[in-house]
Structure 1
Amino acid sequence: MTDLRAMFTRLSLYNNGSLLAELQVKPAWLDQIKDNQLGDKSLELRFRQVEAGSTIDFRIDSDGVLHLRDIICLLNDEDLKLSILREAHSSPHAMHPDGNKMYRDLRELYWWPGLKHGVTDFVARCLTCQQFKAEHQLPSSLL
């Protein structure tokens, strides 16, 4: 029980004696996104608008991250963008989606200038995808 509490686990005890432990998972880079946004001069106005209640397009979530509608705004951190692209493409759960699928998935969560181009370029440089494509191309004699 002590270990679970140390991990900020939500514990529920039921009348039948059972215990439910809930862990909340969030992306490791959420704090980086927040810091990036707070240091970005171009987003300063948006933060003030949200605080003043003068916009309905932007909101700040419970982690302090600025969203345009429900999409996280990310602007000037190339390393962070690369981490997000890697996770969306090369993690064990992603299984190397093609550029179109990866872009559709990412645009529901994130926005940054040049997102589509960044996704296309990232997938084009993936050696695993290039090998798979080369192995599964039909010979020109069969086309």
Structure 2
Amino acid sequence: MAAVAAVTVTVGAQWWDRSAWVADRYPAEVIKDVGRGQSATLHGMSWQLSVAVRPRSAGDNPKATTLVAAVQVTPVSAEEITRFSMPTFEARDRAGRTWDALPATTLSSFDLHAGKVARLTVVAAVPNELKDTAELVLSYSNREMLRFAR
């Protein structure tokens, strides 16, 4: 009986230690939702965007819709510009599906000026049936994410 109890305690301790290790290395996502037409500040930049469906053209995948996001970035101070780095973008729906979203234009710290709007275009292709539910997510890490409502 003592051996069974010792094994149970050992296995339980190992399981708890493993789950703590996983939680430390793979933290839960923290996503801040941003209302349609609203802006949010992350990493010293104010971010605002609008998403439109690009009209279909010859050669487009007939099963996918292209979303184009017009992104506005406004540095809150000159000091924040020196720490600027491009976030990653992706399209997501609330069911957890994700699609790559890639900047069609580039932006560097040289393009930024405190209090002045800089513009960036981001493009994503999503399945036709999900074109109305996909939202753009901007992230620096799993704990620093903005999801923009459409």
TM-score under structure 1 normalisation? 0.27
Q: TM-score, normalised by structure 2?
A: 0.26
Structure number with the higher helix fraction is 1
By percentage of residues, which structure has more strand?
2
